[in-house]
Each structure stands twice: as C-alpha cells, then as structure tokens.
Structure 1
Amino acid sequence: MTASEDPMMPATPPTGDGASPLFVHLSDIHFDRKDISHNGANVMARENLIDDLHEGVRHLGVPDAVLVTGDIAFSGQAHQYDEARVFLKRVTDTLGIEPEQVQVVPGNHDVDRGLVTGSVQATHEALRREMPIDADNRLPGLYREASDPLFAPMAAYRDFAVNYDCDVSGEYPFWETEWQLGRHSVLRMRGLTTCIVSDGDDRRANLIVGLRQASVATEARDDVVMVLGHHPTDWWHDMDECEEVMRDYVSLGLFGHKHVARLSVVDNSIRIVAGAVHPERHSDWVPRYNWVRVGVRDEDGPDPRLDAHIWSRVMLPSVNRFRSDSDEGGWNPHVKQVPLVRWARARRSASPTIVSAVPEQAELPTPPTAVEEPTPVDTDLAHTTDTGADEPVAMPGAPLVPQPPLAARAPVIAGDGRPERVRTAIYAFGELHFSAQMKLLAGFDLLEDGDQSLPPTEIRMRAFARLRASDRLDEFMAAIEVALRHDGDGRPPDPPSDYKESGN
C-alpha cells in the first residue's frame, strides 16, 4: 500500500537524525491589512491552514523549522508584527515545535515607506541609475552611514526579526544557520535581504542585493548552500552579477513575492517560489504554502545529488480546505534533483576512482506519484507592479569585480530537530519588558561603553554575540526564567523614546 492509498502512512521517513531536514515554507502573510486580519475569507484561510499543518505532521512528521520568505507585515508597522508573532506562535504550536524554530527574511511590505523620503529616496534612485557593479561598490559605504538609509525603513521588522535571531543590518545584511544533511554533510542556509532599496518604484529588475550577500562560495566539500529571499532573482537589478557568484554553490533557493507557485531548475539550482498565505482579494484569490524536505543521494559516490521533495498546498474556495495542487490530491510531492557539481568536480580532480570507506547510503524512497508542475495562479501585489513575463530579465553589467564576502554571524548546527540554545535564549529574552532586558544584560556584563546610544535591536545583537563567545549561557537562561516569573509573560512594551530606531 502506498502513502497515497493510506492517508496515515508517512510519504517520506521522519526527520529522525536530521539527515533530511523538513521545512514548512510560508510567504506573503501581509498582517495587518483590514481585509486580511478581519475579512471572513482570510480568517477561514488561516483556520484551514492550521488544520492542514496538523494533517501535514501526521503525513510527513514534525518539521525542523518554519521558513517565512517575507512580506510578514502589510506596511512595516510595529503592531502588524505583534499580530504576525501571535499567528506564528499558533503555527509552531500546531506543528509541535518551539516558537524560535521560525526563520524570517524581509519583503517589500516589511519596509515602512513613510520612512523612505528625502535622502533615503534619493539614495535608492541613485543606486538604481548605476550599473550593477558600480551600485555594488557603493553599498559598503552606505552600510556604514550613520543615517542607515538602507535599513532604517525596516526598523519595526528588525525589532520583530531579532526575536528569531534573524535580524539584518548594514553590519550583517544576511544571516546564516546550518543543518545536518545526510550522514556527514551540512545544509548552509542564508537569509537574504532583497528589499534594501524597496520603495514606491519597485518593479522587476530594479532591486539591489549586492555581491556580499550573494557570495556564498565555500571550500568545505560537504556544504550544500540554500538561500531564502523574498524577491526571486529576476527582480534583482544585479541579477546577472549575483547569479554568477552563486553558480555551482547555491543548490536550493526559496522565494516569495509573486503570489504564484513556481518550481524550476536554474543552473543546477532548484528554485521554489511560494504562493501567498494571504493573496490579494479578487476573483483568483488562492492561498498557498509549501512543505519542503531536503536530502542527498550518492553522498559519498561519484554522482552526488541534492534531492528536494515539495508538497505544494493550495486552498481552493470550491472545497474550502487546503489540498495538493496535483490532480491526484493526497500528499504526493513534486520531486526535483540537481547534481552537486562542486562535490563531483572536486572528487574527479582528486582521484579518477573514489572508494568510500563508509557503507553506501540508502537512498530516499521514490514517492508514490510524480506529479506535474503546478499551474501558476497570478495575483497582483498591493505595492508593486509586475511589468513583464516570468522569464529572467538579462541586465547589462560591467566585468565582475569580486569582493570578499562580509563575515556572517556564527552559524549553528540545528539538525537534531531542536533549536540551538542561544536561539531559545533570544526568543525568551524577547518576552521580557525593556527595562528587565537591560538589567539582565548589564548584570551579565554584556553591555559595553557606547551601547546605550544604539537602537535596541543593535544592543541585543551585540550582547548576544558576546554571550555566544562566553561560557555563561546556562546561567543566562536560568536568569531569564527568573525574570519572566517576576516580569510576567506577553509582548513587551516599546522601549523609551530615546531608544527608538530612526534614520538619524
């Protein structure tokens, strides 16, 4: 009996030792627009999503993380993230994982456009007029500017994302984590910020990412690189330049923004574009989300391959529930494989014959039914204009001038299904009131001269970097638990006005 015949039979093995991590991929939640938060159809869609997540756990097992590829808010306002945080907590409770097992990247709706004025708007316009390589050369200086023209408009998003250890800034425009993959490989996940020049003039091929974010080259033989971003690469002004440095390194990319489901292979890289949890309300309103499992085949052999199983879920109004986007229904995955070119090339150059000392790995099971690609359902974005077809747009560019990648925060191994303890501490710390947070950081000597003049998000990032370098994590966790008992639970209030993030 196959998984499609028996609804209680898992379609793939459980995550177990983390060899094939399983993710829930959400995108374009768009809290808190009135018709999203309170419209009956959208409320129903969220209830149906929760029901489908419960069914997904029964069929596929407990996921390792929830990945949200942007547009968490509708207009980058703090209260919108309060609502999103409550919703995501309900999602993780349903899945049976911890709330800190959520990882997020920002989208264009996570930019407060009320802050994109004057010099910030002028900076965006100037970058877009540049050739991609010239714009990239300007980014390091802009990252260091005190006015923070690229990240200041994302202040509310950053206050939200720091709770999930996913904050971004001029110092760290991306984040990284790592997951165990196969028996001895590593899935390195990088969260990109594709909206650093997002404003009212957003359109295809005029958003800038920069080579520092795209430079994921690694000499580690057992690294498989996966990127998360809101905008697919055909929306990037520097698409050609970034694709060149990602070639042969990025084997998997998860994106959002288009409100359509897309599944393709580009230059030996699997690209998954999620539909929207809350698309625009009109005649072809179709909420979507994905489950994604990642594994490796022939891990120690001459033909290593990345294997992705994608369960694309769609809520059709006619059936009033989520279901597979295939005609077969059930939990039948789409399957994509790509060669791990860099691995194979290294092995061929090292020796014409490779004999593994490790017994051959059992391959992931073949799914019961291979289904056709989903039929895309196009919907419009509230703040963007889609000006062309889905084919990538070729951009002219100067010769590539490689730059060293910006150092990332220390990644973590999280493949055993449990969040890294520092992530747990970061999320719990976010439940404290601001005064209790500062008292705790001071008590553990995690504040330095000058920190008090920084925005709260920067203070937390720097303090937790120091905590990671110390051996006091257990003490710190115990102190958070004590503080929570005295401070009470719930979302902390805003910090004092002199700690507010701004463009100044």
Structure 2
Amino acid sequence: MRILHLSDIHFRAPQCLDPDTDRDRPYRTRLERDVVKRVEALGPIDAIMVGGDIAFQADPREYVEARRWLIDLATMCGCDKESIWVVPGNHDMNRKSCEDAPTMNAHAMIFQASPESREWMLEKQLGHNETGQALFHGHVAYNDFARNMNCQVYPGHLYWKQERDLGPGVKIRIHGLTSTLLSGRNGKDDPRGSLYLSALQTTLDPAPNVINFTICHHPPDWLMDGDDVDDLLNARAMFQVFGHKHRQRILEGKANVRWSAGAVNPSRSERQFEPSYNIIELQVVGNGADRRIGVRSHLYKFQSNPEAFHPIKTDGGDEVFSHSIPFPVEAGRIAVDTVGSVIELSATETTTIQRTMAAVASDAEASMGDRRTRHLVDRFWDLDASDRREITLELGLITKEEIQLPEAQRYGVALIRAAERNLIDRLDQLVAERE
C-alpha cells in the first residue's frame, strides 16, 4: 500500500475562491507536480490520508474547494476518490459556534474535571442529548465535508475506523481519531496541553492479523492525557500519523513508526516556511513466524529558491527511510475441519468463539472501508435529502425520532446499521434506482 500523507492544507476563504489571488495556490500546484513525478517513479498512490486543518476557519466554501482539490489530486496520482480519509483539526472548528453557551458549558465541565473524573464527565456530557450535540456544534461544516468519505464524527461516534487489505492475510485498520473535542473552547486558540482525546478513542482492540493505523491531528504533547495516549498508541498502533505542528518528523521504533507531517500550506509568518508532504509505502514480507511489515518512508519538503520539493535524507544520505517490523502470523481463534463435522468445544473455547463473533459483528463499520462500499456512501450522500430519508426509513435504518438528528449523524448511524444488518446490497439497489 502506497499512502500519500498530507496535513494542514488551510484552505482560506475568500482568497481560495479566486485562483488569481490565492497566495497559497502556487505551493499546492508545486506539490501536485512533485507528487506526479514521484508517482512515475514509485507507482500509483493507493490511499490519501489528510491529518486535519483542511480549512482555515471552517467556512463551508473552504471545504468545497478542498474537496475539489483532493479529488483532482487523487486523479493525478492514480488514486480513486474512494480512498481518501480525513480527520478534523483545530482550524476545522467554527469558533463562533464554540461561543454558544451550551458548547461553552460542556467544554468547561470536561476541561475543569479532575484527571480521574474527566473521562466520566466526557461520557456524561456525550450521553445527554443537548450537551452531546453541543460538543459537536463546531464540527458542522467539517462533518458536511467528511460525510461523503464516511469520516464524520458525532455523539456516540467519536472516531471512525475502516479496513483495507494490506497484503496476503493482513488487513490494515485505519482509525481516524478526534483531538478537537475541546478545541476552540470559549472561541479562543488552544494552548498546548489543553485538549483531550480520552481512552474512549484508544481502545484499538487487537485483532488477529490486523494492523492498527491511526490518524490524529494533534500529537500527544498537545493533549491533557498526552502521556496516556502516547503509551496506548505505541502499544496498540503499529503506524501513527499526526499533523498540527508543521514539523516534519519520522520516529522509527521496534514495534511502530510515527510520522509527523509538515503543512501543505504553513503560515508565511513561520520562522521556517517549509511546505511538505510524505509518501509511505507498506508491504507484507515473508510468511509464518518470519512475517514482517516493510516500511519505506519518503519525506519531501519545499525550498523557496528555486521553488521545488526535495527529499529529506537519512543520516546515511539515503532518500528513503527503510524499516521493518516483525508481524508473525496469528492463528485464527475459530477453526472448523475440512469436511464440516461437529467439533466439541470446552466452555472456555465456546466463550472465545462467542466473543470473537461479537467482535466481528461490532466491526461492521471497519468492514465499510472497501472501495465499493465507500463509493456507495459517496453516491448516497449525493442523493436529494428526501431520497436519503425515504431509503433509510424503508430499510428501517433510522427511526422517525432520529430524523431530528443532524444529517451527518442521522445517516452516519443508518449506514453503519446497513453494514451490521447485511443490507449494503439492498441499499445499493435503492440508491441506484434514485440516481
């Protein structure tokens, strides 16, 4: 799998609406040309992962331009638009919405809670209909953009997860984490250490032969629970990508790799103005106990004179950071014989199977990461609002009471239910009838 890792694009309205006066556009154009050149040498991109700050002030017009640019970029590098994933950053928050009293109150209750009770307070706020919605008021424009990619967030769905095949017998499970739950508190900037992820987003339950890959805008040092997040991600996520700091870094450990992205469009007032991006190559190597995941990282940064992107080199002068992580084959926990005869199981074995089956059912959302299902999600959102409502009511995917929920949440829940109830094919038929 070849991944294009971007972050901090900062589409800024109204400037980004006019190509002739958009000062950031030339850097995106240089990036486009450089990516095309790299793809000619390396091969097409399989996935684009955007680590937040897609917009600058969460103006819906910024997301229109961002979506257009990302789809065009995907076409240029041989990637289908069904393989773009996004998470929110602090610039994807509408700070005016964060000044609404219900949102300020919910933020304050969580922020002021003691470390021991903060997770409990977050759950309590999320569990209340009004305060749960208030926590996501600032995400409305982001969610309207992200929903076509099935990357929206809402109460009861703090993060998203989707799977792709990485290689023979191996899946990669991509987790989009939301570090912006407390971002924009009181309509202000976020000081370092003032944000909160919570253990609710770092479960990352290990599954046999599944690699966890996390995308998060803010790195752990910007979080109140940063030490806990750092430890849990390093223990459970083989691959981690971050944005926000506009500092391009790679940290290769024995069991994981962490990439920190620079910005596609950093502020021109920054001391080091270096637009940048990464290409990450992952490959399954070997078999059985000797199986490993090969990692090749290409880091590119911009120089201003002459204007061009150049590779960052290793200490040894190589243009590629090469790494390898052991990933021995794990035996499946459910086994049947070749002729389908009945196998007597102990109580412990029966419990293990029941838990495994429950885990499979709960990962219906993860199974929606394939291209066909993501294309269906995109088509569903392109329907008229009345068609979306009629289809989901006909299939029993939402209740009449849930029609009152924000659209991104209402139909986000409905689409996951379609996967849980094996109704994806029927949903596809009904969408096709209305296109």
Classify the TM-score, shorter chain. Answer: 0.7 to 0.9
Is residue 56 of structure 1 aligned with residue 38 of structure 2?
A: yes
Please list the CA deviations of residues 93-138 of structure 1 after superposition, one character each: whole Å capped at 9, or x if unmatched: 2123322211111111111111112232233234333343321122
1:162 pairs with one of 141, 147, 151: 147
**In structure 2, what is the Cα distance between the partners aligned to 1:153 and 1:110?**
8
Matched residue, 2:366: 411
The alignment partner of 1:197 has SS state of coil
Amino acid at match of 1:214: T
**In structure 1, what is the Cα distance between the partners aligned to 2:64 and 2:298?**
29
Is residue 6–residue 51 contact of structure 2 (8 Å, CA) maintained in 1?
A: yes
**In structure 2, what is the Cα distance between the partners aligned to 1:422 and 1:313?**
32
Amino acid at match of 1:194: S
How large is the Cα RMSD of the aligned pairs? Answer: 2.8
Matched residue, 1:422: 373
Is residue 172–residue 408 contact of structure 1 (8 Å, CA) maintained in 2?
A: no
Distance 1:193 1:245, change over 3 A: same
Amino acid at match of 1:53: V
Matched residue, 1:77: 59
71-80 vs 253-262, which moves further: 71-80
Please state how far the C-alpha of 1:187 moved relative to its aligned partner.
Answer: 1.7
Distance 1:58 1:133, change over 3 A: farther
**In structure 1, what is the Cα distance between the partners aligned to 2:178 and 2:325?**
25
1:454 pairs with one of 402, 405, 413: 405
**In structure 2, what is the Cα distance between the partners aligned to 1:189 and 1:80?**
25
Amino acid at match of 2:170: S
* Larger proportion of helix: 2
Is residue 2–residue 46 contact of structure 2 (8 Å, CA) maintained in 1?
A: yes
Matched residue, 1:214: 202
Which structure has the higher relative contact order (CA within 8 Å, separation 6+)? 1
**In structure 2, what is the Cα distance between the partners aligned to 1:186 and 1:431?**
29
Please list the CA deviations of residues 244-290 of structure 1 after superposition, one character each: whole Å capped at 9, or x if unmatched: 33343211100110111011136733110111111112363221111
The alignment partner of 2:193 has SS state of coil
Matched residue, 2:11: 31
Amino acid at match of 1:412: S
Please list the CA deviations of residues 156-208 of structure 1 after superposition, one character each: whole Å capped at 9, or x if unmatched: 11111111011111211111112223421222221100110101241222210
The alignment partner of 2:302 has SS state of strand
Please list the CA deviations of residues 356-388 of structure 1 after superposition, one character each: whole Å capped at 9, or x if unmatched: xxxxxxxxxxxxxxxxxxxxxxxxxxxxxxxxx
Please state how far the C-alpha of 1:298 moved relative to its aligned partner.
Answer: 4.8
Please state how far the C-alpha of 1:324 moved relative to its aligned partner.
Answer: 1.7
User: Aligned residues, how many?
Assistant: 396
**In structure 2, what is the Cα distance between the partners aligned to 1:116 and 1:257?**
20
**In structure 2, what is the Cα distance between the partners aligned to 1:65 and 1:233?**
24
Matched residue, 1:290: 278
Distance 1:102 1:213, change over 3 A: same
Is residue 82–residue 371 contact of structure 2 (8 Å, CA) maintained in 1?
A: no
Please list the CA deviations of residues 336-356 of structure 1 after superposition, one character each: whole Å capped at 9, or x if unmatched: 34455xx59x89xxxxxxxxx
Is residue 364–residue 420 contact of structure 2 (8 Å, CA) maintained in 1?
A: no
Amino acid at match of 1:410: E
Please state how far the C-alpha of 1:326 moved relative to its aligned partner.
Answer: 3.4
Is residue 132 of structure 1 aligned with residue 83 of structure 2?
A: no
Instruction: List aligned pairs for 1:457-496, cutoff 5 A.
Output: 457-470=408-421, 473-474=424-425, 476-484=427-435
The alignment partner of 1:156 has SS state of helix
Amino acid at match of 1:173: L
Matched residue, 1:235: 222
**In structure 1, what is the Cα distance between the partners aligned to 2:14 and 2:48?**
25
Is residue 307 of structure 1 aligned with residue 294 of structure 2?
A: yes
Distance 1:42 1:169, change over 3 A: same
**In structure 2, what is the Cα distance between the partners aligned to 1:191 and 1:216?**
11
2:2 pairs with one of 22, 32, 42: 22
Instruction: List aligned pairs for 1:160-199, cutoff 5 A.
Output: 160-199=145-184
Matched residue, 1:146: 129
Is residue 261–residue 274 contact of structure 1 (8 Å, CA) maintained in 2?
A: yes
Matched residue, 2:353: none
Distance 1:412 1:64, change over 3 A: farther
Distance 1:197 1:266, change over 3 A: farther
**In structure 2, what is the Cα distance between the partners aligned to 1:31 and 1:289?**
16
Matched residue, 1:279: 266
Is residue 16–residue 65 contact of structure 2 (8 Å, CA) maintained in 1?
A: no
**In structure 1, what is the Cα distance between the partners aligned to 2:428 and 2:24?**
38
Please state how far the C-alpha of 1:28 moved relative to its aligned partner.
Answer: 0.7
**In structure 2, what is the Cα distance between the partners aligned to 1:429 and 1:77?**
24
Please state how far the C-alpha of 1:445 moved relative to its aligned partner.
Answer: 4.8
**In structure 2, what is the Cα distance between the partners aligned to 1:413 and 1:480?**
16
**In structure 2, what is the Cα distance between the partners aligned to 1:431 and 1:92?**
19
**In structure 2, what is the Cα distance between the partners aligned to 1:481 and 1:23?**
31
Please, which runs of 5 or more residues in structure 1 have no aligned partner? 1-20, 348-403, 485-504
Please list the CA deviations of residues 416-440 of structure 1 after superposition, one character each: whole Å capped at 9, or x if unmatched: xxx4322111112222332343344
Please state how far the C-alpha of 1:446 moved relative to its aligned partner.
Answer: 4.0
Please list the CA deviations of residues 383-412 of structure 1 after superposition, one character each: whole Å capped at 9, or x if unmatched: xxxxxxxxxxxxxxxxxxxxx9xx665212
Matched residue, 1:350: none
**In structure 2, what is the Cα distance between the partners aligned to 1:469 and 1:223?**
20
Please list the CA deviations of residues 442-484 of structure 1 after superposition, one character each: whole Å capped at 9, or x if unmatched: 4555442213211111221122123324555445435434533
**In structure 2, what is the Cα distance between the partners aligned to 1:409 and 1:169?**
18
The alignment partner of 1:137 has SS state of helix
2:245 pairs with one of 258, 272, 290: 258
Amino acid at match of 1:248: A
Please state how far the C-alpha of 1:59 moved relative to its aligned partner.
Answer: 1.5
**In structure 2, what is the Cα distance between the partners aligned to 1:48 and 1:325?**
17
Please, which runs of 5 or more residues in structure 2 have no aligned partner? 332-358
